[in-house]
């Protein structure tokens, strides 16, 4: 019985997050337009775009392989599967011991399938975009995983029911430890995670794989119609999910306890409050970031991660772990 | 099996590509992200202007010259009238020269603001694009107030200018300069001299060394950014420019170094914005009263030009570099026997194609945008055999051979040994 409820919950969640993430796309475009002294498109423009793309013919290049058509379907399928392991104001629906591994695996798989689809499209622009995507994927995951595992390990020392599960964040959070060193470490890791988020959703400095002016949308160069619509939707879902991770780690507080709700009502209130927090994180890491920066070269972006973010993550992790390690009294 | 396998890809940039504003084609050979070779193909925007010009008289040609390109419409018009004035020996009233300076510098301001925005767009910094184009609206409004049009203001005529600048318009221009000095220029300097993103992307991108700039005869901000002191207004003592204290801008005045990269070209443009505003103010201070054109009516011009004989060359520093117009008279007719224009984009394009070799893919849009290419100006020459309809592309080799033959024909005693300057055109191959 339990699995049926969870599955129904996942379908409901998928529908809700699809709307929320497409609404955020519209909000983001409007906000950035305002920062650039433009009027911007209507708030619901991403919905119109999606509906129009779905109704249009999809052109398959002559040299495209089988993966070209399958990649959009797989990406959306993986995004929906990922929703089951995403912390969304409460513990993930299919939360288990060690589900953080599944979360990172599925998140990386989305980028990987995109690359497979791009390579199979036979377009030289998509090839370059795919190369760039893989290079930046390899660079950005290292500091993020280091920070994520260190935080989970530190929280498991406080005593949690299921260590290395994303549900941990709703039992204890990083700010609870309270020593000045962990506070500083957490602030440092917050910056690392915001940079990772910006690169995961490819904005600002890290809009490199899809650089429009250089390689004409890179991996998306040959996609059109229905296939492109599926990619747009899964990209929007990915934005929401990636930001959800940052929110869960650093701002996990719910609202249901304060207003005294329980049961299904509490879950809905927490979900809506979580959505607002996700929008705020995305506003900092996406809208503002892409309004005040340009795109870096791929070599510079890799340097940002290996020479700036990785040392920052190491220092942050050491600061968080230092009182458990008992090197200082 | 220990030899390295080289996986080279050829990708086309253009004729239609998000990085380009106008149709042109670069075939780029890539090794991963590194550029191995750049091949330039031109001619996608050919409109047969010189052929059209064969059935236009001197006055009508002015309007045709103005419509070569939307951005430097004044420059082409101005250069063409200069060529005709030199050919027929027409004296231009001094006040007209000052008005030409004012409109020309206003055009330079609008062209440079446009290019600064395009560079912002090329590095994905769209806020720069929207803000600098918003700032550009002010100068476009001024140009509309003076000439009646945002783009083709038709200020020039042979032997002067068509409209005077009145007191009201003068005040509007000075207000605009005040606004740019106070509101816009600090922001532009903040972005193009100090912004870390812009510096990271533009520094050491598309470097044109001084030697290459001289060998490929780069023009305008492209040459000045590489440290070549080249500005027609200064070198040729053009019109009243020497009285206004013109001197070529060098990036050294702003950053202390000359590297010849995209950053330096942008610094030159920022410097020229300051310089243009100063020139306009000085021009207003020194402008004498008097006539604004040598001929009261247009038919008098045609009458005079019918009797003219000889040839004239007009030179002017357009926002992108030196424009040259050549006009040869056809005695007894009001149609010139030959009219030809040479634009700065043509030499600049090959210089920047050379500079791109060894750089990354990410530098292509920004390097191409940094010379502010104007392809509608450049594409005018194609050789087509009418009988067979076959299209022939003349390389440097063929052109050099043809010109040597012609020289021998004119002067059989020519003693100099002709040869290629520098390493030659990349398309033509080495001689």
Contact A292 B127 (CB under 8 A): yes
Q: Which residue has the higher pLDDT, B82 or B402?
A: B82
Q: Up-side HSE of residue B327: CA atoms within 13 Å toward CB?
A: 34
Domain ranges of chain A: 2-325
Contact B124 A211 (CB under 8 A): yes
Task: Classify residue B119: in a domain, yes or no.
Answer: yes
Res B431: pLDDT: 38
Contact B33 A205 (CB under 8 A): no
Q: And the tokens for B250? A: 């060098």
On whether both B418 and B282 belong to a single domain, the answer is: no
Give the residue numbers spanning the domain of B176: 49-341
Low-confidence winner among A311-320, B11-20, B137-146 (lowest mean pLDDT): B11-20
Expressed in angstroms, the distance from the first to the final Cα of chain A is: 51
Task: Classify residue B135: in a domain, yes or no.
Answer: yes
φ, ψ for residue B41, nearest 5 deg: -120, 125
In this structure, the number of other CB atoms found within 10 A of the CB of residue A193 comes to: 27
Contacts of A37 in chain B (CB under 8 A): 130-131, 134
Of B284, B316, B341, the last residue of a domain is B341
Res B403: pLDDT: 73
The CA distance from B309 to A214, in Å, is 51
Task: Classify residue B237: in a domain, yes or no.
Answer: yes
Which residue from A37, A132, A296 is facing B130, i.e. has the nearest CB? A37
> How far is residue B312 from each of residues A123, A326, B54, B83, B171, measured CA to CA in Å?
51, 88, 17, 5, 37
On whether both B336 and B428 belong to a single domain, the answer is: no
The CA distance from A105 to A99, in Å, is 10
CATH code of the domain in which B101 resides = 1.10.645.10
The residue of A36, A136, A214 whose CB has the most chain B CBs within 10 angstroms, and thus the best one to mutate to test that interface, is A214
Contacts of B367 in chain A (CB under 8 A): none
On whether both B270 and B409 belong to a single domain, the answer is: no
Contacts of A214 in chain B (CB under 8 A): 19, 361-362, 364-365
**Percentage of chain B exceeding pLDDT 90:** 4
On whether both B403 and B315 belong to a single domain, the answer is: no
Listed in sequence order, the residues at least 6 apart from B370 whose beta carbon sits closer than 8 Å to its beta carbon are B119, B202, B206, B222, B262, B265, B266, B352
Residue B41's nearest CA partner among B382, B358, B401, B366 is B382
On whether both B105 and B238 belong to a single domain, the answer is: yes
φ, ψ for residue B12, nearest 5 deg: -85, 130
Instruction: Provide the phi-psi class of A222: left if phi over 0, else alpha when psi is between -120 and 50, else beta.
Output: alpha
Q: And the tokens for B295? A: 């001929």
Task: Classify residue B368: in a domain, yes or no.
Answer: no
Res B427: pLDDT: 46
189-218 in B: which are within 8 Å (CB) of A?
Answer: 197-198, 200-201
pTM: 0.81
Which residue from A36, A127, A205 is facing B126, i.e. has the nearest CB? A36
The residue of B200, B358, B364 whose CB has the most chain A CBs within 10 angstroms, and thus the best one to mutate to test that interface, is B200
Averaged pLDDT of chain B: 82
Res B418: pLDDT: 58
Q: Per-residue confidence at B366, pLDDT binned at 50, 70, 90?
A: confident
Q: What is the pLDDT along chain A (329 residues), one digit of tens a residue?
A: 577 877 888 888 889 989 999 999 999 999 999 888 888 899 999 999 999 999 988 888 888 888 888 899 999 999 988 888 888 877 777 777 778 888 889 989 998 998 998 888 888 888 888 888 888 888 888 898 898 888 888 888 777 777 778 878 887 787 777 778 888 888 888 889 998 999 888 887 888 888 777 777 888 888 888 889 998 899 899 999 999 989 888 888 777 767 777 777 778 888 888 899 999 999 988 899 888 888 888 888 899 899 988 999 998 888 888 777 766 54
Q: What is the pLDDT of residues B57-105, one digit of tens each?
A: 888 888 888 888 878 888 888 899 988 888 888 888 888 889 888 998 9
The CA distance from A35 to B86, in Å, is 51
Q: Which residue has the higher pLDDT, B5 or A200?
A: A200
On whether both B282 and B415 belong to a single domain, the answer is: no
> What is the residue whose two structure tokens read 């055999």?
B385
The CA distance from A77 to A200, in Å, is 18
> What is the residue whose two structure tokens read 């056809």?
B330
Low-confidence winner among B23-37, B40-54, B379-393 (lowest mean pLDDT): B379-393
Low-confidence winner among B72-76, B104-108, B406-410 (lowest mean pLDDT): B406-410
On whether both B244 and B156 belong to a single domain, the answer is: yes
Of B278, B313, B341, the last residue of a domain is B341
Tell me: pLDDT of B325 over 80. Answer: yes
> For chain B, what is the largest distance between any 2 Cα atoms, rounded to a whole number of angstroms?
83
Contacts of B32 in chain A (CB under 8 A): 131
**Distance (Å) from the C-alpha of residue A222 to the closest C-alpha of chain B?**
14
Q: What is the pLDDT of residues B279-294, one digit of tens each?
A: 999 898 888 888 888 8
In this structure, the number of other CB atoms found within 10 A of the CB of residue B171 comes to: 10
Task: Classify residue B23: in a domain, yes or no.
Answer: no
Which residue from B121, B200, B360 is facing A213, i.e. has the nearest CB? B121
Task: Classify residue B359: in a domain, yes or no.
Answer: no
Listed in sequence order, the residues at least 6 apart from A217 whose beta carbon sits closer than 8 Å to its beta carbon are A125, A129, A210
How many domains, chain B?
A: 2
On whether both B175 and B277 belong to a single domain, the answer is: yes
On whether both B317 and B425 belong to a single domain, the answer is: no
The CA distance from B328 to A311, in Å, is 69
Q: How many CB pairs under 8 A join A and B?
A: 74
């Amino acid at each position: 019985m339990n699995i049926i409820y969870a599955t129904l919950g996942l379908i409901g969640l998928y529908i809700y997050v699809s709307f929320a993430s497409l609404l955020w796309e519209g909000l983001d475009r409007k906000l950035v337009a305002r920062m650039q002294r433009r009027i911007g498109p209507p708030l619901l423009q991403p919905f119109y775009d999606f509906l129009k793309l779905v109704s249009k013919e999809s052109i398959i290049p002559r040299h495209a392989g089988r993966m070209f058509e399958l990649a959009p379907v797989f990406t959306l399928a993986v995004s929906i599967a990922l929703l089951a392991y995403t912390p969304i104001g409460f513990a993930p629906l299919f939360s288990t011991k060690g589900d953080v591994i599944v979360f990172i695996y599925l998140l990386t798989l989305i980028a990987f399938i995109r690359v497979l689809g791009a390579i199979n499209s036979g377009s030289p622009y998509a090839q370059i975009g795919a190369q760039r995507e893989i290079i930046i994927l390899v660079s950005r995951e290292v500091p993020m995983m280091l920070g994520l595992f260190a935080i989970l390990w530190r929280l498991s020392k406080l005593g949690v029911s299921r260590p290395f599960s994303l549900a941990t964040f709703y039992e204890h959070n990083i700010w609870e430890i309270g020593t000045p060193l962990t506070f500083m470490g957490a602030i440092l890791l917050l910056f690392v995670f915001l940079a990772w988020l910006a690169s995961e959703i490819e904005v600002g400095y890290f809009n490199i794989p899809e650089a429009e002016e250089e390689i004409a949308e890179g991996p998306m160069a040959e996609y059109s119609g229905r296939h492109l619509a599926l990619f747009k939707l899964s990209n929007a879902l990915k934005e929401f999910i990636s930001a959800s991770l940052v929110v869960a780690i650093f701002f996990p507080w719910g609202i249901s306890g304060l207003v005294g709700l329980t049961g299904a009502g509490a879950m809905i209130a927490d979900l809506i409050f979580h959505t607002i927090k996700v929008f705020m994180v995305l506003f900092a890491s996406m809208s503002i970031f892409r309004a005040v920066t340009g795109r870096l070269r791929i070599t510079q972006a890799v340097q940002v991660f290996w020479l700036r973010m990785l040392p920052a993550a190491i220092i942050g992790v050491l600061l968080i772990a230092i009182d458990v390690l008992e090197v200082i009294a | 099996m220990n030899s390295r396998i080289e996986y080279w890809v050829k990708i086309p940039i253009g004729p239609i590509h998000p990085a380009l504003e106008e149709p042109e084609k670069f075939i780029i050979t890539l090794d991963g992200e590194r550029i191995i070779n750049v091949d330039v193909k031109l001619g996608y925007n050919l409109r047969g202007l010189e052929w059209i010009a064969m059935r236009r008289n001197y006055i009508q040609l002015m309007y045709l010259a103005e419509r070569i390109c939307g951005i430097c419409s004044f420059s082409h018009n101005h250069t063409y009238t200069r060529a005709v004035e030199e050919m027929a020996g027409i004296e231009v009233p001094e006040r007209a020269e000052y008005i030409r300076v004012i409109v020309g510098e206003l055009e330079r301001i609008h062209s440079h603001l446009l290019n600064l925005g395009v560079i912002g767009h090329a590095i994905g910094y769209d806020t720069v694009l929207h803000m600098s184009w918003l700032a550009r609206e002010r100068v476009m409004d001024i140009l509309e107030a003076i000439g009646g049009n945002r783009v083709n203001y038709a200020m020039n005529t042979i032997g002067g200018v068509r409209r005077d600048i009145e007191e009201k318009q003068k005040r509007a221009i000075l207000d605009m300069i005040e606004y740019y000095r106070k509101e816009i220029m600090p922001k532009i300097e903040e972005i193009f001299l100090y912004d870390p993103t812009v510096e990271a992307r533009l520094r050491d991108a598309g470097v044109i060394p001084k030697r290459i700039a001289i060998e490929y005869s780069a023009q305008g901000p492209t040459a000045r950014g590489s440290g070549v002191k080249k500005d027609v207004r200064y070198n040729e003592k053009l019109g009243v420019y020497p009285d206004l204290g013109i001197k070529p801008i060098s990036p050294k005045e702003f950053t202390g170094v000359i590297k010849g990269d995209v950053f330096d070209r942008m610094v030159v443009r920022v410097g020229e914005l300051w310089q243009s505003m100063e020139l306009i103010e000085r021009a207003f201070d020194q402008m004498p009263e008097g006539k604004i054109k040598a001929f009261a009516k247009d038919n008098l011009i045609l009458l005079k030009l019918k009797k003219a004989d000889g040839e004239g060359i007009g030179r002017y520093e357009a926002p992108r570099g030196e424009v040259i117009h050549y006009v040869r008279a056809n005695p007894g007719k009001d149609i010139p026997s030959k009219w030809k224009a040479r634009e700065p984009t043509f030499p600049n394009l090959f210089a920047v194609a050379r500079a791109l070799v060894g750089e990354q893919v990410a530098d292509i849009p920004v390097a191409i945008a940094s010379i502010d290419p104007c392809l509608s100006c450049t594409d005018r020459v194609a050789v087509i055999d009418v009988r067979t309809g076959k299209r022939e592309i003349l390389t440097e080799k063929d052109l050099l051979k043809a010109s040597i033959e012609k020289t021998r024909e004119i002067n059989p005693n020519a003693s100099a040994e002709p040869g290629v300057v520098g390493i030659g055109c990349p398309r033509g191959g080495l001689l």
